[in-house]
């Protein structure tokens, strides 16, 4: 069974916005801290944002003030505003209850 499915990526111009979604299996979603990661070509996978079960959030310095992570009863989201070319990457969600499980990722390309 697929436990994580990311979607919502696409091509956007600099300064634009996208909202990413991740559908997660309940077994790894409930009571779990969830993260968004991204990986750009030639770079290490980078932790972008975190949301705990209790709703606390944290962000990488590179996205603070621009990205917002949130969750509902089954999904996590990443609202991305003021996008920059440096944000171009494949974005993945992850559960800390299943740290080696990854979805297929969703491509975000920021270009004019």
Contacts of 71 (CB under 8 A, 6+ apart): 34, 51, 55, 77
For 46-57, how does the pLDDT look when each residue is reduced to its tens digit (9 = 90+)? 999 999 999 999
Residue 1 — pLDDT band, cuts 50, 70, 90?
low
Cα–Cα distance for residue pair 7/56, rounded to 1 Å: 23
10 Å Cβ neighbour count for 96? 13
For 3-45, how does the pLDDT look when each residue is reduced to its tens digit (9 = 90+)? 899 999 999 999 999 999 999 999 999 999 999 999 999 999 9
- Bigger pLDDT: 20 or 101? 20
């Amino acid at each position: 069974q697929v436990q994580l499915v990311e979607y919502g990526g696409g091509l956007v111009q600099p300064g634009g916005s996208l909202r990413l979604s991740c559908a997660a299996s309940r077994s790894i979603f409930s009571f779990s801290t969830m993260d968004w990661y991204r990986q750009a070509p030639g770079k290490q996978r980078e932790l972008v944002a975190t949301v705990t079960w209790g709703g606390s959030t944290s962000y990488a310095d590179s996205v603070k003030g621009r990205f917002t992570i949130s969750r509902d009863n089954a999904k996590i989201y990443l609202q991305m505003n003021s996008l920059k070319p440096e944000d171009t990457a494949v974005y993945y969600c992850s559960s800390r209850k299943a740290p080696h499980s990854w979805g297929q990722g969703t491509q975000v390309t920021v270009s004019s």
